[in-house]
Amino acid sequence: MPSNIHAVGCLTPRGTPTQYQSVLMPVVNELSLNAATRMNDHSSEYFRSNELLSRGNSRLLIVDVQEKLVPLIPVAETLIANCRRLIEGAQILSVPIYATEQYPKGLGKTVPQLANLLGEIPDKQRFSGGEVLDWGVAAADEECRDKIVVAGMETHVCVQQTVLDLTSCGFRVYVPADAVASRHKLDWKIALDRLSDSGATVTTTESVLFEWCETSAIDQFKQISRLITGTSASD
């Protein structure tokens, strides 16, 4: 590297603007070409932002979408549809799926539209699901699945308390705003604002699915695309 360049874009006071350009531009062009080559070279490793979800480091948690609570939710149809999309997307992309139920003796079981896609669901009385999930702290997770997508209800009660407990244990938590709900819109909004301020990432169902999918080059992309658009394989 020429002696008057300490780093790209950092010049010593020597030289005229024309000299700066003649020295700097070839370096910038070379770096840009190298970057473009790396982006197009599918054989080399591509480093994604740590802010993005990955199917290899995620889990999905469905919180308390139960038969006696759902009729009280104004956006219940959308909530159930998006929770189902997340579950089906997680199944397609091999993301582990978990669920909880709050006092099912009084509030009923998970709605059948979701329950038929889920395994055994632990019940709880504490509003947070952290205790029954018993995941410990993120740093001790041998599977390195430290990013948790949390969907369900109600946003300002069980979802909020579960998310805050998980973040306190070091997990990165993602909350799709269109896959959580409360009886009242104000509670939903204030809870999402609080969770965002507390370090959780507020996102959407579609964003989660595309981040898990990551690329259209994988075999499962068409399944994820149909899941998002609502089309069938015959369409």
Q: Rounded CA gap, 2 and 23, in Å?
A: 8
For residues 52 and 58, give the distance between their C-alpha atoms in angstroms, rounded to a whole number: 10
Instruction: Give yes or no for residue 1 having a pLDDT over 50.
Output: no
Q: Which residue has the higher pLDDT, 84 or 24?
A: 84
pLDDT (tens digit, 9 = 90+) per residue, 201-219? Answer: 999 999 999 999 999 999 9
pLDDT, greater one: 185 or 20: 185
pLDDT tens string 124-137: 999 999 999 999 99
> Could you read off the pLDDT of 2-20 as tens digits, one per residue?
333 333 333 334 444 444 4
pLDDT for position 124:
97
Euclidean distance between CA atoms 224 and 172, whole angstroms:
23
Query: What is the mean predicted confidence (pLDDT) over 17-40?
Result: 48
pLDDT in tens, 127-183: 999 999 999 998 888 889 999 999 999 999 999 999 999 999 999 999 999 999 999
Mean pLDDT throughout 81-96?
A: 98
Q: How confident is the model at residue 26 (pLDDT cuts 50, 70, 90)?
A: low
Mean pLDDT, to the nearest integer, of 22-30?
50
pLDDT band at 72 (very low <50, low <70, confident <90, very high): very high
At residue 142, the pLDDT reads 82
Residue 30: pLDDT band by 50, 70, 90 thresholds? low
pLDDT at residue 174 in the model: 98
Segment of 49-53, 133-137, 228-232 carrying the highest mean pLDDT = 49-53
Q: What is the DSSP string of 38-74?
A: HHH-TTS-----TTS--TTSEEEEEE--BTTTGGG-T
